[in-house]
C-alpha cells in the first residue's frame, strides 16, 4: 500500500472513477495539461484524454451551469473551481439548479454533479484564496457539503461524492494537501456521506471539528492528554447532512463539547451543532459548549492569517474551560 498525501488521494479517487465509469468527466480551469494549479488532476488528461479531462474557458458560472446540464443528461461531471473563493459566480447555478433539479421535476431529472474546490486558510495565499464558506452551502436544501481532512478520507469521500446520485460540494483543505502522508489503498471503497468520523476516543471532552482546523484540533487533543484531559475527537467531514447522532453519543459520554472551525463564528456550522446539542443533549452537558472559530471579520491577508485561524492554544484553552467546575 502506498503512502500518499491528501492531494494524491484526491487524484487517485478521480482516476479510479474515470477508469471505472465512462460517465465520469473531469473539467475546470487548468485541470488538463497543467493538472490543476495545485496539481490535483495531474496526469489525468494524459491518461484519459482531452474528451474526459477538459480545460474550460475561465468562467465559474459556466463550470457550475454546464455541470448541471451534463449531469442532467447522464454524465457524472466532476468540476473544479480553482479556489473556493471564486465559486460565487457559480453560486446561482449551484443553489438555483443543482440543488433543486430533482425536486423541481419531482425526480424526473437528477443532478449527480461534484464541484471540487480548494478551501480554507493557512497557505499565505492572496485575497479570496483562504476563506471557509461551508455554512453558505450547508444552508442550501438539496446539497451535500463534504470536507475531508486526511488522505484516506479524501479518497473514500471523493469516490462517494462522484458516485452520489445528487450534487455534492467537495471542499479540499489546501493547507492539508501535502501536510502528511497516509497509506491509502486504491480499493474503490467509498465512505458514507452522512457519518462523522471519530478520530480519537476520549472521556473528558469532545472536540468537534472539520477541514484544515482538524490539524490543530488533533494536536490540541494530543497535548491535552499530557495534561490529563482525555479528548474524543470528531471529524464532522460530512457537513451536510449533519450526523448529529455521532456527536450526541460522544457528548453523552464526555459531557463537554468544544466546536472548532475556521469559518466566522456568526451563523457558522458550529452554531447549528451547538443548537442541536442544546436541543437534544443539554442534560448530558456538564459545562457550557465552547466554540473556537475564525473571527467575524474578513479573512485577513497572509500577514495576519495566523492571528485569525483557530490555534492549538485557543482550542486547549476552550477545552480547559469546560473542565473548570
Q: How far apart are the first and last CA of the chain?
A: 47
Q: Work out whether 74 is an interface residue with another protein (CB under 8 A).
A: yes
49 touches another protein (CB under 8 A): no
Size of site (CB under 8 A) for another protein = 47
Q: Interface with another protein by CB under 8 A: which range of 59-67, 145-153, 203-211, 220-228?
A: 59-67
C-beta separation of 292 from 259 below 8 A: yes
Tell me which H or E stretch contains 259. strand 257-264
Site for another protein in 144-173 (CB under 8 A): 144, 165-166
At its nearest, how many Å lie between another protein and the CB of residue 136? 17
Decide if 263 contacts 242 (C-beta within 8 A): no
User: Is 69 a binder of another protein (CB under 8 A)?
Assistant: yes
Establish if 228 lies at the interface with another protein (CB under 8 A).
no
Identified binder of another protein from the candidate list 30, 37, 39, 62, rule CB under 8 A: 62
> Which residue, 183 or 279, is less far from another protein as judged by CB?
279
Please report how close the Cβ of residue 228 comes to another protein at its closest, in angstroms.
36
Strand partners, 115: 79, 169
Q: How far is the CB of 102 from another protein (least distance, A)?
A: 5
C-beta of 193: minimal distance to another protein in Å?
9
101 alpha-carbon distance from chain centroid: 23
Q: Is 14 in the site for another protein (CB under 8 A)?
A: no
Q: Provide φ and ψ at 39, rounded to 5°.
A: 75, 25
Report the nearest approach of another protein to the CB of residue 173 (Å): 24
CB 74 to another protein: min, Å: 6
Residue 188 engages another protein in binding (rule: CB under 8 A): no
The Cα 127–Cα 213 span in angstroms is 19
In this chain, which of 104, 124, 128, 306 binds another protein, going by CB under 8 A?
A: 104
* Residues in a beta bridge with 261: 293
Given phi > 0 = left and psi -120 to 50 = alpha, else beta, which region is 235?
beta
Answer yes or no whether residue 59 interacts with another protein by CB under 8 A: yes
Task: Give Cβ neighbours of residue 109 (< 8 Å, ≥ 6 apart).
Answer: 72, 101, 102
In sign, the C-alpha dihedral spanning 80, 185, 207, 219 is negative
Residue 118 phi/psi, 5-degree rounding, is -60, 150
- CB-nearer residue toward another protein: 31 or 72: 72
- CA dist 121 and 306 (Å) reads 9
| 129 included as an active-site residue | yes
Active-site choice (16, 129, 139, 280): 129
Listed in sequence order, the residues at least 6 apart from 32 whose beta carbon sits closer than 8 Å to its beta carbon are 41, 45, 50, 53, 54, 55
Residues of this chain that bind another protein (CB under 8 A): 25, 51-52, 56-57, 59, 61-62, 64-75, 77, 89, 92-93, 96-97, 101-110, 141-142, 144, 165-166, 194, 241-245
Amino acid at each position: 500500500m502506498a503512502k500518499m498525501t491528501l492531494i494524491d488521494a484526491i487524484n487517485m479517487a478521480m482516476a479510479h472513477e474515470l477508469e471505472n465509469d465512462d460517465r465520469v468527466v473531469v473539467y475546470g480551469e487548468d485541470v488538463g495539461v497543467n493538472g490543476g494549479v495545485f496539481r490535483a488532476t495531474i496526469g489525468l488528461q494524459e491518461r484519459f484524454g482531452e474528451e474526459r479531462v477538459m480545460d474550460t474557458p475561465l468562467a465559474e458560472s459556466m463550470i457550475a451551469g454546464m455541470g448541471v446540464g451534463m449531469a442532467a443528461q447522464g454524465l457524472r461531471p466532476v468540476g473544479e473551481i480553482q479556489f473556493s473563493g471564486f465559486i460565487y459566480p457559480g453560486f446561482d447555478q449551484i443553489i438555483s439548479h443543482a440543488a433543486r433539479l430533482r425536486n423541481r421535476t419531482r425526480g424526473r431529472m437528477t443532478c449527480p454533479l461534484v464541484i471540487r474546490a480548494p478551501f480554507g486558510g493557512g497557505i499565505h495565499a492572496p485575497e479570496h484564496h483562504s476563506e471557509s464558506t461551508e455554512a453558505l452551502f450547508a444552508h442550501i436544501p438539496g446539497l451535500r457539503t463534504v470536507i475531508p481532512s486526511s488522505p484516506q478520507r479524501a479518497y473514500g469521500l471523493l469516490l462517494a461524492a462522484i458516485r452520489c446520485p445528487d450534487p455534492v460540494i467537495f471542499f479540499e483543505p489546501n493547507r492539508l494537501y501535502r501536510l502528511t502522508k497516509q497509506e491509502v489503498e486504491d480499493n474503490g471503497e467509498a465512505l458514507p456521506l452522512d457519518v462523522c468520523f471519530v478520530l480519537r476516543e476520549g472521556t473528558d471532552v469532545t472536540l468537534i471539528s472539520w477541514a484544515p482546523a482538524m490539524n490543530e484540533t488533533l494536536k490540541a487533543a494530543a497535548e491535552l492528554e499530557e495534561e490529563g484531559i482525555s479528548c474524543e475527537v470528531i471529524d464532522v467531514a460530512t457537513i451536510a447532512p449533519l450526523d448529529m447522532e455521532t456527536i450526541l453519543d460522544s457528548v453523552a459520554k464526555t459531557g463537554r463539547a468544544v466546536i472548532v472551525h475556521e469559518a466566522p463564528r456568526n451563523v457558522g456550522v458550529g452554531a447549528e451543532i451547538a443548537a442541536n446539542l442544546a436541543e437534544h443533549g443539554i442534560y448530558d452537558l456538564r459545562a457550557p459548549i465552547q466554540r473556537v472559530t475564525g473571527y467575524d471579520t474578513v479573512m485577513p491577508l497572509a500577514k495576519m492569517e495566523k492571528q485569525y485561524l483557530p490555534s492549538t492554544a485557543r482550542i486547549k484553552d476552550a477545552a480547559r474551560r469546560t473542565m473548570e467546575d
